[in-house]
Amino acid sequence: MARVSRGTPAKLHRIVARLRKAYGRSVPPPAVTAFELVLWETVAYLATDERRARAFEALRTRVGLTPQAIIKADPAVLSEIAAIGGAVAVEDRARHMHDAAAYVIDAFAGSLDSVLTRPLRESMRALRKFHGIGEPGAERILLLMRARQVLALDSNGARTLCRVGYGVQHKNYATMYRSVRAATGSELVADFDWLIDAHLLTRRHGQEVCKATSPQCEVCVLKDECKYAKANASRPARS
């Protein structure tokens, strides 16, 4: 990973600095193990961060966050907690939590953290076996657990960086994600705090301002860096 020269801050450096000034330091998910991050992803679906946090806290207090606690939990209780995280696929998400716990107990002797020190390809392969965890999700777990210095992005962050000029817009999210990751590679900083900030801040900006539809370019702190905003500046604003 290249470290950006202090004398010539790259565009990505400026973007992260502006987002930090606009939003402050973002708080990562309240998970302290790799398995807890899997639960964080699974316990809610199509939910706000606040609702996801409520579901995660209910899981913590009512069941516990270890594979051993999840495997012993009453399926009805897991379903009740999953319902806090959204009304979609409640029983499926409860089952996915149970299946994730069984996988960790069987394959990793009860501790998913053991994958964090394995070679990258092996770690990614293991994490992607969980339902709903693809390449971006696996990289997020490795980053948030401070195991790998990567710029992990969710769809909001990838969209934000694509619009300001990194990578190419593509209907296939995996293709766009990889193009953005490749385009930002030379401008990354080999520092976990900076990378986690970049992940969380671009995600928040994509959620609140750089939305998939009706982006709020007029109030965007990145608009003078943004190819998308410049290309659409002459178009009439949507009512």
Q: What are 96-127's pLDDT values in tens digits?
A: 999 999 999 999 999 999 999 999 999 999 99
Nearest to 130 by CA among 143, 117, 141, 114: 141
Res 3: pLDDT: 47
pLDDT tens-digit map of 184-235: 999 999 999 999 999 999 999 999 999 999 999 999 999 998 988 888 875 5
Res 169: pLDDT: 85
Q: Is the pLDDT of residue 239 over 90?
A: no
Residue after which a domain boundary falls, among 110, 144, 178: 144
Residue after which a domain boundary falls, among 114, 144, 174: 144
Q: Is the domain of 110 the same as that of 88?
A: yes
Q: Is the domain of 136 the same as that of 179?
A: no
Mean pLDDT, the chain, integer: 92
Q: Is the domain of 110 the same as that of 70?
A: yes
3-state class (DSSP) for residue 174:
helix
Res 236: pLDDT: 53
Instruction: Kindly provide the residue ranges of all beta strands, DSSP E only, lying in the chain, ordered along the sequence.
Output: none
Q: Is the domain of 184 the same as that of 120?
A: no
- What range does the domain containing 161 cover? 11-25+152-232
Q: Is the domain of 18 the same as that of 49?
A: no
Q: Is the pLDDT of residue 20 over 50?
A: yes
- Counted domains in the chain: 2
pTM, to two decimals: 0.89
3-class DSSP string for 119-150: CHHHHHHHHCCCCCCCHHHHHHHHHHCCCCCC
pLDDT tens-digit map of 43-63: 999 899 999 999 999 999 999
Judge whether 202 lies within some domain.
yes
Q: What is the dihedral angle through the alpha carbons of 4, 8, 14, 16, rounded to the nearest 10 degrees?
A: 20
Res 5: pLDDT: 42
Q: Which amino acid is at 135?
A: E
Q: Is the pLDDT of residue 143 over 90?
A: yes
Judge whether 237 lies within some domain.
no
Q: Is the pLDDT of residue 7 over 60?
A: no
- Give the pLDDT band of residue 161 (cuts 50, 70, 90): very high
Q: Is the domain of 16 the same as that of 96?
A: no
Judge whether 19 lies within some domain.
yes
Res 227: pLDDT: 86
Q: Is 47 exposed, middle or buried (0-12, 13-18, 19+ CB in 10 A)?
A: middle
Q: Is the pLDDT of residue 74 over 60?
A: yes
